[in-house]
Amino acid sequence: MPIVTIDGHPISVEPDTLIIQAADRAGIEIPRFCYHPDLRPEGNCRMCLVHIKGFANLSPACTTPVTDDMVVNTAHQHDQVRQATKGVLEFLLINHPLDCPVCDQAGECSLQDFYLHPDYGLHPSDVDPPEKVRKRKALNLGPIYLDSERCVMCSRCVRFSNEVSGTGELQFVHRGNHVEIEAFEDRALRDPYAGNLADVCPVGALTSRDFRFKRRVWFLRHANSICAGCSTGCNVRIDYAENAIDRVVPRRNPAVNKSWMCDEGRLSYHNLQDLPRLESPLQRTEAGLQPVSWEEAMLLGQEGMRGPYGRVSAVVASAMATNETLWILRQCANSLPTPTEIDFRLQSINPDINAREDHLLRRLDKAPNSRGAMLLGAGAGRGIEAMAQSAEEGKVGVVVILHYPPLVGQDDNARLAAFQRLIRGAAFSVVLTNTVSGWWNGADVVLPVASWSEEEGTFTNFAGITQLTEAALTPPGEARPAWKALRDLLPVGSLSPRLATVEQIFDRGVAVISAFEGLHYATLASREATVYPPEGRKSYGQEGFAGR
Amino acid sequence: MDKKDSQVVDVSVQAMNLGTGVTGMAAGFAVTLKNMVRSVPGRNTVTIQYPEQRKPYSRRFRGVHALTVRPNGQLKCTACFLCATACPAECITIEASAVTDDAIEKVASRYEIDLSRCIFCGFCVDACPEEAIVMTREYDLATHDRMDELQYGISDLTDREEIQAYGAGYRPHMQYPLVESYLPTELPAKPQDDID
Ligand code: SF4
Ligand code: SF4
Ligand code: FES
């Protein structure tokens, strides 16, 4: 393997690795605009120039592959590189509107960060045009806003729409100072992956309409999560503040979603925010369902689930639930005194977890954990329809239903109708759900549970990759994670030792099952997908606030 | 401290303490006495009839905030949140919204300062790149209610009479004497006895 020396650090990399990739791997920072790890390198911005020993001219690190014994120096070490980088920045800033106060990218903008860099930023401008070139601002392109004046002409967006989403909707027009990004006739973008344009754009030229003026990014808190919009399981970062999600952006994971996610998944948090959330446990009384305390609801649930005997029980699982919740649900099913059927499928046909919806990421199965549910044996029955049939025939005693409405698309009416039939036919029914809706009328106990983004746990995607999702928000009202509620419904002493955290359930329960063998919660947690943006670069200008 | 140690007393230190104690006390009483004599009714009274009478105070006093406006009456604030970022008491709440005006793009549709939490440090004024928020010289904020009456929204920060009555205070980017035309309304001239 070639060994390249960058800024005095010897780095051993595979042949054909680009200098910028080698530097990224070693944690040496090279500024860049046009290079993106998941786009074809183009080398047009000249921000990444480095000095290679023996070469007369500086070379772009993003298009030059390493060779053995290459000696590279970056702006940190080399004066000529520093001068060149400074020059590129200065040119880019000549016509830049400097409107950071109204720009949503401020705080995560490459141009801003590089200008504040101690090595090549903070220079006074030697070019002072009498008038800046003005271009179009705040142009609404559907999911994206275009502000041409802020563009640094890196062409990442053009390459994204040509190479990745394949819609080819963006192109450069005009020449020289007047170059602009344009969508044909300014029509709204019809790319179902257009949201990624705001992420690839290193500056504020393309920003998200959904996030527009919502919050300055430095107020956001982050949680690494997994999109619950389909069985692909894209790695995402939930950006939230004041217990509300402000946006969801992709995290880079070359094995699953590269740096991308679809717009449906990106906006799926709105569906969650729009749900009328169930905030307190309910109990059936003469006057319909009435709020009760958790303790009462639990006592009632435990008592009801111990009898009536002599009939079969039905447990409905959900592929929206985490592996940990499903595992506890299995224990619940096992603990019932009668033979129990458990299933999350409507009929006894296995869901086609792999079926694609398009060429890129989306899959037809709109639940994030169907694979996990299958592996955990939560799809072992004859399907919910068949269980409902038995209930109508009066054969079912206890019914436990766990249900979350999907985050992409609508609730399946056939499924809800089957739930209703189950509840009507059962002698005793417990419902765990996160939403106020009509189908659970008639249930004996209804328990409010936390949704995606409100509880941690693991999902297993279509390909069998088990990934961790962190909690970002606190659940509304008295809602609790479903695994907690289910664990407390189990007869005392049936789980020993008492499982107090998701980690314990995973390590002592889930990981015992052969499909999950060798996995540890702690290593899932530390196996961090790379975050994009800001992709391995530190933000400058933050020190002032951090030290406050 | 050990009990034994505490019994060891250095006499010279004690004498010194006594000396400074006495002189310090004497100096204090001298001030008291002087003012007592001075404020014999009819002579040069130090006490004033507040609130009818007021003392002169600094031109750069950091009092209640005011939001400045553009010539067309629109708020100057573009909701960049730098003031809210700088605020150590976290008492500034802003909501931004878009305007169709291309040159401005973004305005504050809600701007609220919780004066019950504000420590009047003036960091928000320092942080503002556009002098959209300044401080007035208004200081008497007593209310009957600790919460609601001390939440100042956009109209409180632009339209209240007190803003004109007290005039502009802390505005680090402006030259003194002040050009006050940015404030919401034309300000009356202030008495000349102010200390700069
Ligand atoms: S709009 Fe953004 S991504 Fe596209 S060329 Fe300009 S700076 Fe690059
Ligand atoms: S492709 Fe699926 S997992 Fe990925 S973002 Fe879209 S809905 Fe979410
Ligand atoms: S990042 Fe290398 S030329 Fe743009």
CB contact (8 A) between residue B98 and residue A101: no
A101 near B CB under 8 A: yes
Ligand (nearest to CA of A235): 2
Q: What is the residue whose two structure tokens read 């009929």?
A: A347
Nearest CB to A213 within list B79, B88, B129: B79
pLDDT of residue B44: 65
> Does the distance separating the beta carbons of B105 and A101 come in below 8 Å?
no
Residue B183 lies in a domain: no
Distance from CA of A180 to the nearest CA of B (A): 17
Q: What is the pLDDT of residues A33-42, one digit of tens each?
A: 999 999 999 9
The number of folded domains in chain B is: 2
Question: CB–CB of A102 and B88 under 8 A?
Answer: no
Please give the Cα distance from A238 to A227 (Å, whole number).
9
Residue B189 lies in a domain: no
State if residue A265 touches ligand 2 by the CB under 6 angstroms criterion: yes
Q: What is the CA radius of gyration of chain B?
A: 25
Please give the angle made by the CA atoms of B62, B68 and B74, to the nearest 5 degrees.
Answer: 160
| CB proximity list for A475: less than 8 A, separation 6 or greater | A448, A449, A450, A451, A454, A455, A481
**Residue A33 CB less than 6 A away from ligand 3:** yes
Ligand at shortest distance from the CA of A43: 3
- Chain A hits for B105, CB-CB cut-off 8 Å, are 99, 102, 137-138
HSE, side-chain direction, 13 A CA sphere, residue A161: 22
B154 and B70 share one domain: yes
Confidence of residue A534 (pLDDT cuts 50, 70, 90): very low
Decide if A213 touches B, using CB distance below 8 A.
Answer: yes
Interacting residues of A446 by C-beta distance below 8 A, sequence separation 6+ = A278, A281, A282, A283, A289, A430, A431, A432, A433, A440
pLDDT band of residue A350 (cuts 50, 70, 90) is confident
Locate the ligand 3 atom nearest the alpha carbon of residue A62 and give its number.
2
Preceding amide of A118 cis, omega within 30: no
Q: Which bound ligand lies closest to the C-alpha atom of A20?
A: 3
Can you give the C-alpha Rg of chain A in angstroms? 27
- How many angstroms separate the alpha carbon of residue A129 from the centre of ligand 3? 26
Q: How far is the CA of A232 from the centre of ligand 2 (A)?
A: 6
Q: How far apart are CA B64 and CA B66, in angstroms?
A: 7
Inter-chain CB proximity B80 and A137 less than 8 Å:
no
Q: Could you give the CA distance from residue B163 to residue B139 in angstroms, rounded to a whole number?
A: 11
Strands A340-343 and A312-316: parallel
3-state SS class at A335: helix
Ligand 1: centre distance to CA A180 (Å): 9
Per-residue pLDDT tens digits for A305-348: 887 666 899 999 999 999 999 999 999 999 888 889 999 999 98
Distance to chain B for A99, nearest Cα, Å: 10
Mean pLDDT of chain A: 91
The separation between the first and the last C-alpha atoms of chain A, rounded to the nearest angstrom, is: 46
| Whether A246 contacts A215, CB under 8 Å | yes
**Locus of tokens 């041409």:** A148
Tokens 């220079």, located at residue: A123
Instruction: State the Cα torsion A222-A223-A226-A230 to the nearest 10°.
Output: -60
Residues B40 and B127 in one domain: no
In the reported structure, the alpha carbon of residue A236 is separated from the centroid of ligand 2 by a whole-number distance in angstroms of 9
- For the residues A73-77, what does the mean pLDDT come to? 94
**Which residues are within 8 A (CB) of A116 and not within 5 positions of it... i.e. 6 or more apart?**
A122, A540, A541
CB pairs A-B closer than 8 Å: 34
Residue B96's closest chain A neighbor by CA?
A213
Domain membership of residue A524 (yes or no) is no
> pLDDT digit string (tens) for A397-456?
999 999 999 999 999 999 999 999 999 999 999 999 999 999 999 999 999 999 999 999
> Which residue of A251, A320, A357, A362 sits with most ligand 2 atoms within 8 Å of its CB, as the best mutation to test the pocket?
A362
* CA separation, residue A532 to residues A224, A431, A518, A543 (Å): 12, 39, 29, 21
B155 token code pair: 């109209």
Helix (H) / strand (E) containing A412: none
Most confident of A515-519, A541-545, B155-159: B155-159
Tokens of B123: 């960091």
How close does chain B come to A469, measured CA to CA in Å? 30
Alpha-carbon distance A400 to A422, whole Å?
Answer: 9
* Residues of the domain holding A381: 282-514
The answer, yes or no, to whether the previous bond of A308 is cis (omega within 30 of 0) is: yes
Flag if B98 and A100 touch (Cβ within 8 Å). no
**Beta bridge partners of residue A225, listed in sequence order:** A236
Nearest-angstrom CA–CA distance, A533 and A536: 8
User: Which of A100, A213, A545 faces B96 most closely, judged by CB atoms?
Assistant: A213
Of A170, A171, A214, A161, give the one whose Cα is nearest residue A192: A161
Give the ligand at the shortest distance from the Cα of A34.
Answer: 3
Q: Please check whether residue A534 lies inside any domain of the structure.
A: no
Pairing of strands A396-403, A312-316: parallel
Q: Same domain for B42 and B72? A: no
Query: What are the φ/ψ torsions at residue A352 (nearest 5 degrees)?
Result: -85, 90
Residue A6's pLDDT is what? Answer: 96
Across residues A202-214, what is the average pLDDT? 96
Give the per-residue pLDDT at B168.
82
Cβ burial, residue A233 (10 Å; 0-12/13-18/19+): buried
Question: Are A454 and A471 within 8 A, CB to CB?
Answer: yes
Residue A411 lies in a domain: yes
Mean pLDDT over residues A9-29, rounded? 94
pLDDT in tens, A104-140: 999 999 999 999 999 999 988 888 888 999 999 999 9
Atom 3, ligand 1: which residue's CA is nearest? A201
Determine if ligand 3 sits within 6 Å of the CB of residue A143: no
Amino acid found at B1: M
pLDDT of residue A217: 95
Helix ranges restricted to H, A128-278: 156-159, 195-200, 263-274
Name residues of chain B where pLDDT drops below 70: 1-9, 11, 41-46, 102, 173-196
Specify whether the CB–CB gap between A108 and A211 falls below 8 A.
Answer: no
DSSP secondary structure string, A266-286? Answer: HHHHHHHHHS-B--S-EEEET
Closest to B171 in 3D by CA, of B87, B60, B71, B92: B60
Tell me if B57 is assigned to some domain.
no
Peptide bond connecting A497 to the previous residue in cis, omega within 30 degrees of 0: yes
Cβ neighbour number for residue A313 with a 10 Å cutoff: 23
How many CB atoms are located within 10 Å of the residue A210 CB?
18
**Is the CB of residue A232 below 6 angstroms from any atom belonging to ligand 2?**
yes
Q: Is residue B190 part of a domain?
A: no
What integer pLDDT is reported at residue B186 of this predicted model?
37
Give the angle subtended at the CA of A63 by the CAs of A59 and A69, to the nearest 5°. Answer: 65
Of B88, B97, B129, the CB nearest to A213: B97
Residue indicated by tokens 């490459």: A110
Q: Which of A51, A71, A91 is the last residue of a domain?
A: A91
Q: How many whole angstroms separate alpha carbon B1 and alpha carbon B9?
A: 14
Does ligand 3 lie within 6 Å of residue A48's CB atom? yes
**A491 domain residue, yes or no:** yes
Q: Is B108 on the interface with A (CB under 8 A)?
A: no
Domain presence at residue B54: no
Q: Is residue A341 part of a domain?
A: yes
Other Cβ atoms less than 10 A from the Cβ of A360: the count is 18
Least confident interval from A199-208, A358-367, A485-494:
A485-494
Chosen from A216, A539, A548 to mutate, greatest number of chain B CBs within 10 A:
A216
Is the pLDDT at A191 greater than 80? The verdict is yes
A209 at interface of B, judged by CB pairs closer than 8 A: no
Is B116 domain-assigned?
yes
Q: The tokens of A40 are what? A: 């074809």
A203: Cβ below 6 Å to ligand 1?
yes
Is B109 inside any structural domain? yes
Determine the Cα–Cα distance for residues B133 and B129; give it in Å rounded to an integer: 9
* Dist. CA A205–CA A155, nearest whole Å: 11
Is the four-CA dihedral B15, B18, B23, B26 of positive or negative sign?
Answer: negative
Provide the 8-state DSSP code for A124: P
* Confidence (pLDDT) at A216: 95
Q: pLDDT tens digits, residue range A352-399? A: 889 999 999 999 999 999 999 999 999 888 999 999 999 999 899 999
Asked if the structure places residue B196 within a domain, the reply is: no
pLDDT of residue A418: 96
Query: A-chain residues within 8 Å CB-CB of B97?
Result: 213
Last residue of a domain, one of A55, A71, A91: A91
Q: Are B154 and B74 members of one domain? A: yes
| Domain limits for position B24 | 12-47
- From chain A, the residues in CB contact with B129 under 8 A are 101
From A214, which residue of chain B is nearest by alpha-carbon distance?
B96
Same domain, B75 and B164: yes
Q: Is position A485 within any domain?
A: yes
Q: Is A47 in the pocket of ligand 3 (CB under 6 A)?
A: yes
Q: How many domains does chain A have?
A: 2
Record the pTM. Answer: 0.87
Question: Which residue has better confidence, B56 or A92?
Answer: A92
d(C-alpha A395, C-alpha A387), whole Å: 9
> SS in 3 state form for chain B?
CCHHHHHCCCHHHHHHHHHHHHHHHHHHHHHHHHHHHHCCCCCCCCCCCCCCCCCCCECCCCCCEEECECCCCCECCCCCCHHHHHCCCCCEEEEEEECCCCCCCEEEEEEEEECCCCCCCCHHHHHCCCCCEEEECCCCCCCCCCCHHHEECHHHHHHCHHHHHHCECCCCCCCCCCCCCCCCCCCCCCCCCCEC
CB-based contact (8 Å) between A309 and chain B?
Answer: no
Q: Is the CB of A74 under 6 A from ligand 2?
A: no
Put simply, whether A102 touches B (Cβ < 8 Å) is yes
Please state at what angle helix A482-489 crosses helix A323-335, rounded to 10 degrees.
20
Residues of A whose CB is below 8 A from B93: none
Given a contact cutoff of 8 angstroms between Cβ atoms, the answer to whether A154 and A45 are in contact is: yes
Using the 3D structure, point to which of A56, A91, A126 is the last residue of a domain: A91
At residue A181, the 3 state secondary structure works out as strand
The alpha carbon dihedral of A34, A39, A40, A41 has a sign of: positive
Q: Residue A240 has which token pair?
A: 């939230």
B102 to A101: CB separation less than 8 angstroms, yes or no: no
The answer to whether B81 contacts A219, with C-beta atoms less than 8 Å apart, is yes
Is A439 within a domain?
Answer: yes
Burial of A31 (0-12, 13-18, 19+ CB in 10 A): buried
Indicate the length of chain A as a whole number: 548
